[in-house]
Structure 1
Amino acid sequence: MTRQQIQVIWLSISLIIIASIIYSLGLATLFFSPSNELQLFYQVSLLFFMPLGFVVVPCWISNKNDLCNSQVLVQFNWKSFVILAFIIYMVNGLFLHSEEYFPQMVIAICEEYLFRSLIYRILRTHFAPLWAILIGSFLFGLLLHMNYPLLDNVFVRFPLGLLFSGLTLRFGLQYAIAGHWIFNLIQSIL
């Protein structure tokens, strides 16, 4: 492995750590919220700090330091996203009955953007597509979700990272977001 490859892996890890710290600091504000307003404060905190930590700050760092491979584009189609969001809304309303529709949407959008778009494009500066997918999925499955059991991460989240990467590259980021969103909704009712 070359020095540049090690550097882009460390840059990716650094962005994940920064995202996690910002999100955790945001969730820490829940300690100061009234107990009868906990759900509202959680949603507001999630809506502000998740995009800040997983999208805004990593994009700013990436753009400021020219970290992404500008020739690697990740497709996103708003029309498809809206249709998928409606389908997920209907599936949730008819079958899942999760109260986490909106929070899980925010989480899926932010995590998928960070991993399938930004980190993938950073890794692609010095790695072939397959290696960028494997490394990004490993970081998603084992580093971001390190608070879950290791075997769950190895046998569930890492393969999901591979699946979401495949969906992104084949059909567009909106399909990875939808898959992640559905998975999280199912997890929220188990």
Structure 2
Amino acid sequence: MKARDPRRQRTIDALLAAAEEVFAARPVEEVTVEEIAERAGVAVGSIYNSFGSKAGLHAAVIDRALDVDREYMDRAYTPERSPVDQLRAAAEQYLRFAMEQPQFFRMLAFPAPLGNYAAAAETAARLARRVDEQNARMTAAIERGVADGTIRPVDARRAATVLWASWNGVISLAWRPDDLREDEQGLAELLSLAADLVSWGLRRA
């Protein structure tokens, strides 16, 4: 397999880094290719040469965010852990993802409107599908717990959705502009408390 030209790879990396910042904060339709290129320090034509279009660059950023998210969550769903311990570990890794990769986290947990450009529906569908795949791992952990008797019978899919949504809500306190804002230590404590409540609520009596 032919190695990619190092200079071209640097251009791609610069474009992805610049796009990550702007797409995490603003609707895609409000972002221009000129803005991304200027931020990356490259020519506008590099976007079209490397990604085909602004939509192609946005899709690449989404895929990168999802891949990084999966790397974090892989650390939680290890076979030696019990289902409940996997859920606890997933909460911990989700917080680490949010703190260490805040732009990616916001892009996935609180996506900006995609606008009406041609590829928006396809990108939104891909994002929803990949997030659902991650939530399916949580669902599977709950189902395993139900099967082995450590978790009481519940609708595993809906329970996973509740967990995911509640984690997003807790972590979002990191960006509040008021006295309700929490630092990383505070978030960790809140998620630990949430994990205790989940463990108590899900465990079979």
- Common fold by TM > 0.5: no
Which of structures 1 and 2 has the bigger CA Rg?
2
Normalised to the residue count of structure 2, the TM-score between the two structures is 0.39
